[in-house]
Amino acid sequence: MTSTASPARSRTAASWLRSALLVALLSALAYESPYPWGTLWIGVPAAVALSLLAGWRFGVTGAFVPVAVLGVTLVAAGPMATWAWWIPAAALTGLWMGLREEGDGPSLGHRAWMLLPLLLLAAALPWTPSYGTLVRSVERQFAASDREMVGISRQMHRPVEQQKQLEATLAEQAKLRGQVLPELLPAALFLWLAVLVMAGRALASRVARVLGWPPLSRAAVSRWRLPDAALWVLIAGLGLLVLKAPGWSGTGWTLLLASALGFGVQGIAVVESLLLSRGVPLSVISVTLLFMLVVALPAFALAAVTAGLGDAWLDFRKLEPASRADDAPSN
């Protein structure tokens, strides 16, 4: 006679194993990253997981977790530690996700919109007193990497002309990097923190399974649709860049790139939904899109963002209730 408890124990053990592997990976990345920013590899996923589970289990009362995270962060790092503010902001995102987990849960597009606290923090980053120090620190990391690459090339006894060409190329890259790094660093940090939020959600899913809770909601990429308010984020970023207001370019690029990425994914979702409705296998769609992404990245990105913005206006897939009501036959 086969015990029904064996499969359950196997699933629990597998969940614990995946959780341990995820924590081990994040710990290794934290160890290899410069302090104190390396602590975000662990702090952000942990804060997201705790806040998500608290919001899901206790509702609005679960807000005590982000508040507690904020208090601990202020005591441990101080209010002037720029890196530490990402942890309570991520906890707020986790709480928002947890509050929306009832029922079918949010769509992927609405889940991406819940990254808004992190996006606003990234947009405000260029105005913090320590931003210049952060940019110089990152530049020093890149410069050290360049020097290491030159040293390795010399140890390999490459021809003198190739060595000079490498050093000239690195010098040109350093000059360009010095120009764009202050503008694009906040957007890069936002993307990094978005990945850590995904890791925190995955960790929360493992913990929920261990606790015997229902599984976290899942959503298909083909139904990705950002809220209409995301258009205003894109317009705000574009407006700041067009106006060329002094000191606002970093904020403008952050808002523009983050919202454009979201609408680009929405454009891909439109194409995927169309091909799936025509019976094209998902594996073929994935390979085709990946090939186009590698071969023609600029054109692919522009086409994806254009399709996403068009879907925000015309709702090609009729995901909005108003669109479905307009298409319904009248009695």
For 312, counting Cβ atoms within 10 Å of its Cβ (0-12 exposed, 13-18 middle, 19+ buried), the class is buried
The answer, yes or no, to whether residue 94 has pLDDT greater than 70, is: yes
Is residue 325's pLDDT more than 70?
Answer: no
- pLDDT for the residue numbered 331: 46
On the question of pLDDT at 329 being above 60, the answer is no
Residue 1 has pLDDT above 50, yes or no: no
- Integer Cα distance of 117 and 90 in angstroms: 7
233-259 pLDDT tens trace: 999 999 999 988 888 999 999 999 999
pLDDT in tens, 5-19: 566 666 667 767 777
Q: What is the pLDDT of residue 321?
A: 62
Q: According to the model, what pLDDT value does residue 34 have?
A: 87
| Collapsed DSSP state (helix, strand, coil) of residue 247 | coil
Question: Closest by alpha carbon to 50, among 62, 42, 41?
Answer: 62
Rounded CA separation 310/277 (Å): 19
- pLDDT tens digits, 115-153: 999 999 999 999 998 899 999 999 998 888 888 888 887
Burial class (CB in 10 A: 0-12, 13-18, 19+), 197: buried
Q: Label residue 2 left, alpha or beta by phi (over 0 means left) and psi (-120 to 50 means alpha).
A: beta
- Does 290 have pLDDT greater than 50? yes
Backbone angles phi, psi at 100, to 5 degrees: -100, 10
Burial 165-192 (b: 16+ CB within 10 A, else e): ebeeebeeeeeebeeebbbebbbebbeb
Mean pLDDT of 66-85: 91
| Spatial CB neighbours of 262, under 8 Å, sequence gap ≥ 6 | 109, 112, 113, 226, 230, 308
Domain residue extents for the chain? 11-130+185-219, 220-320
Mean pLDDT, all residues of the chain: 88
